[in-house]
Amino acid sequence: MTAIAEHGPGLAAGSAVTMAGALNQALSDALSEDDSVLVFGEDVGTLGGVFRITDGLANSFGPTRVFDTPLSESGIVGTAIGMAMNGLRPVVEMQFDAFAYPAFEQITSHLAKLRNRTRGRVELPIVVRIPYGGGIGGVEHHCDSSEAYYTHTPGLRVVTPGTPADAYVLLRQAISSPDPVIFLEPKRRYWSKEMVSDHGGVAMDRALVRRPGTDVTLIAYGGALATALEAAEAAAEDGRSAEVIDLRSLSPFDDETVTASVKRTGRAIVVHEASRFCGYGAEVAARLSEQCFHYLEAPILRVAGFDIPYPPPSLEEYHLPSVDRILDAIDALQWQETAALVKVAG
Amino acid sequence: MTIPMTPELLLPPANPITLVDAAGRAVPGDGLGLPGDDVLATLYRMMVLGRRFDTQATALTKQGRLAVYPSARGQEACQIGSILALRPQDWLFPTYRDSMAVTARGVDPVQVLTLLRGDWHSGYDPYQHRVAPQCTPLATNTLHAVGLARAASIKGEDTVALVMLGDGATSEGDTHAALNFAAVWKTPVVFLIQNNGYAISVPLAKQTAAPSLAHKGIGYGIPATVVDGNDAAAVYAVVRRAVTSAAAGAGPVLIEALTYRVEAHTNADDATRYRSEEEVVGWRARDPVKRLREHLRDRGLLDEAAIATVDAEAEAQAAVLRQRMTADTRHDPDDLFRYVYAEPTPELRRQQRELAAELGRAQGGRGAR
């Protein structure tokens, strides 16, 4: 996997950047460095995308490299597959999470499988960018957390940045990847700002410890990362030291980093916006019980969205995992039982 | 030569283009000349070889050597006429029913049958003969063809993509998207609809209310034509004209070839449940191989000796195929993990070891557990 160091010019260290700006810069740098990179989708040309992620790119790189397509998500992904078969590296945009579903067949039956079907002869280095998740007051069909549909599909890599600087790094890595990548952009964090600092050459498929801690591991990604960090800060005031892991790569899953943390802390909570039932957290919890059972002091908990269709804007605050809900989950991790056992043993 | 694009000219002709009629006589067809004698001879030879390959494949299902085979018997003129019209630099995007076309393009028949034998999903290297893997999900290959041809245009390559689809596939959303993208982008793609009358059991009348499938072209701004799909000379000439036009930068062309699937959908299908024997008999009388044979014989371009030579070649080829398909193939369980990603993930390596351990135990018998 390509390290960040190989991707210049990158973001200027010490400057403040939004996630939208970082993604734009990553696309721009990739287009500059590699003639085979193309950016296309709905409204990504003249308009610069409904979230302005592709702002200015059509002007800078011309209509052959950056262009609007007719309105068909299946058409966008299907033609990207043909282009990649002919040596190009398409980076395509699905306008919103739920609007990507018409492309589902092309993604699951072809994008994910063509390498395997042809014994590695056909490589599809395609990035499908999908703004996902809620928290922006979006009306129905604009706020889905669709990650589990993709992580359940072998052959795809699925990544999601939690911070602006990492959005740059991950997108560059995704574009360089020889495998198809579903790149999920937490749209509620598009306009969050961050001072850029180098986190070293971490590979695309590795998780990062965003905040070290000793008592409990909070496992989060994408839009929920900031919430988990906030909860960790609040927990510290209560005297509980929470370690926060940013998964970055949802598929493959970085067992090594996550299990190392949970073996140290003995407690784990997975936080995500998506519905709980068969959600991504279920896989994380299952893997941790398989690999860390004897280190666990309490059941692994999930703080997730309810098992409901994404609610209308006026009600979404009740649905999204909040700092309080994470703190409540931390409180529920059988601290008294452990303390009692320690006392008995002592 | 490009195909003009005024609204009137986008409409298909009232009658399908025919160059050699059912009785084997040459007839004038929409300004298209009859292909040269050598082309006609090759069309005939390739159709005979293709048909023999097809019947051999069906026979292999009965011997349990193939899991399933969707026959293209009756569609030889489409399968061979279109392939001979392609240039080496062009690409073919076939479906599961186009094995005959894929072999005609030069792909090793054993590699073609890998999918249906159940040994792997696609058995050939798509880049060797510029043939995409045979596509099972309907119409999805139309978009791949448009993308590949679009990339060719971007890179300045002189490449046309020919995509095959059936009448049923024209109802799928991807066909609509592909026709639209191709037209908007002026992509060098030729869409060849082999209208064989049925989507498994569903007749065309339940598939569309359009006057013809070719009529769909005008809605996208794509010139369309209808060709007698049992006339190899006409299919060749029409596809050739389309390829030339697309290569010259005039954009996509839509061709509807009227033909008939003489066999059932696959060996697992029972066609008597949805169509009459009279109908099948009627179409058998319009046999594309026989038609060209009559034509060539009437013109003195084919004698009994030449016919026998081609038949013998087809028999020999079938015998080789039969023999090669009898050889048992070796299957490596490690292949399951090898090609999912460029590099197997740590989890896949773990699962691969898990399977290897399981197989090791199985070999050691119960006691090895």
* Range(s) of the domain holding residue B351: 335-368
Q: Strand A16-18 and strand A193-195: pairing?
A: antiparallel
Does the pLDDT at position A7 exceed 60?
Answer: no
Percent of chain B with pLDDT over 90: 91
Question: In chain B, whose CA is at the least distance from the CA of A35?
Answer: B155
- Residue of B25, B129, B274, B297 marked active site: B274
Contact B147 A82 (CB under 8 A): yes
pLDDT of residue B4: 67
Contacts of B176 in chain A (CB under 8 A): 72
CA dist B83 and B78 (Å) reads: 8
User: pLDDT per residue over B106-159, tens digit each?
Assistant: 999 999 999 999 999 999 999 999 999 999 999 999 999 999 999 999 999 999
Contact A78 B146 (CB under 8 A): yes
CA dist A169 and A23 (Å) reads: 9
Q: Does residue A95 contact residue A138 with C-beta atoms inside 8 Å?
A: no
Are B272 and B358 found together in one domain? no
CA dist A122 and A139 (Å) reads: 39
- Beta-bridge partner residues of A249: A159
Number of separate domains in chain B: 2
Are B272 and B355 found together in one domain? no
Are B207 and B245 found together in one domain? yes
Q: What is the ipTM, given to two decimal places?
A: 0.96
Please indicate whether residue A142 is annotated as part of the active site.
yes
Q: Does residue A77 contact residue B136 with C-beta atoms inside 8 Å?
A: no
State how far residue B304 is from chain A, nearest Cα, in angstroms. Answer: 43
Buried b (16+ CB within 10 A) or exposed e, A56-88: ebbeebeeebbbbbeebbbbbbbbbbbbbbbeb
* Structural fold of domain A208-345: Rossmann fold (3.40.50)
Here the tokens at position B231 are: 């006339």
Please report, for chain A, the start and end positions of each structural domain, with discontinuous segments joined by +. 4-195, 208-345
State how far residue A109 is from chain B, nearest Cα, in angstroms. Answer: 8
CA dist A269 and A267 (Å) reads: 7
Does the pLDDT at position A337 exceed 90?
Answer: no
Tell me the average pLDDT of chain A: 94
Contact A155 B341 (CB under 8 A): yes
Are B235 and B340 found together in one domain? no
Report which of B37, B187, B322 is spatially closest to residue A70, judged by C-alpha positions: B187
Percent of chain B with pLDDT over 70: 98
CATH number at residue B177: 3.40.50.970
Are B126 and B271 found together in one domain? yes
Contact B122 A252 (CB under 8 A): no
Q: Which of B127, B132, B140 sits opposite A78 (nearest CB)?
A: B140
Are B310 and B186 found together in one domain? yes
Question: In chain B, whose CA is at the least distance from the CA of A85?
Answer: B148
Q: Strand B189-195 and strand B253-258: pairing?
A: parallel
User: pLDDT per residue over A154-213, tens digit each?
Assistant: 999 999 999 999 999 999 999 999 999 999 999 999 999 888 876 557 999 999 999 999
pLDDT of residue A341: 73
Q: Does residue B265 contact residue B107 with C-beta atoms inside 8 Å?
A: no
CA dist B238 and B35 (Å) reads: 10
User: pLDDT per residue over B156-199, tens digit each?
Assistant: 999 999 999 999 999 999 999 999 999 999 999 999 999 999 99
What's the whole-model pTM score? 0.96
Q: Does residue B122 contact residue B132 with C-beta atoms inside 8 Å?
A: no
In a domain, B39, yes or no: yes
Question: Coil, strand or helix: which one is A284?
Answer: helix
User: pLDDT per residue over A8-59, tens digit each?
Assistant: 567 887 889 999 999 999 999 999 999 999 999 999 999 999 999 999 999 9
- φ, ψ (nearest 5 deg) of residue B99: -60, -35
Please indicate whether residue B265 is annotated as part of the active site.
yes
User: pLDDT per residue over B186-244, tens digit each?
Assistant: 999 999 999 999 999 999 999 999 999 999 999 999 999 999 999 999 999 999 999 99
Are B231 and B363 found together in one domain? no
* Section A279-297 average pLDDT: 98
Here the tokens at position A192 are: 């969050």
In a domain, B2, yes or no: no
- Residue of A7, A110, A142, A272 marked active site: A142
In a domain, B82, yes or no: yes
In a domain, B133, yes or no: yes
Contacts of B221 in chain A (CB under 8 A): none
* Section B51-77 average pLDDT: 95
Q: Does residue A77 contact residue A111 with C-beta atoms inside 8 Å?
A: yes
Tell me the average pLDDT of chain B: 95
Are B116 and B206 found together in one domain? yes
pLDDT of residue B366: 55
Same fold, A4-195 and A208-345: yes
Are B270 and B345 found together in one domain? no
Contact B151 A87 (CB under 8 A): yes
Are B146 and B217 found together in one domain? yes
Give one word for B228, left, alpha or beta, with left for phi > 0 and alpha for psi -120 to 50: beta
Does the pLDDT at position B285 exceed 50?
Answer: yes
Contact B148 A106 (CB under 8 A): no
Does the pLDDT at position A5 exceed 50?
Answer: no
Are B310 and B363 found together in one domain? no
pLDDT of residue A127: 98
Does the pLDDT at position B368 exceed 80?
Answer: no
Number of A–B residue contacts, CB under 8 Å: 137
Are B230 and B348 found together in one domain? no
Does the pLDDT at position B323 exceed 80?
Answer: yes
Q: Which of A74, A82, A86 sits opposite B173 (nearest CB)?
A: A74
Contact A64 B126 (CB under 8 A): no
* Structural fold of domain A4-195: Rossmann fold (3.40.50)
Contacts of B146 in chain A (CB under 8 A): 78-79, 82
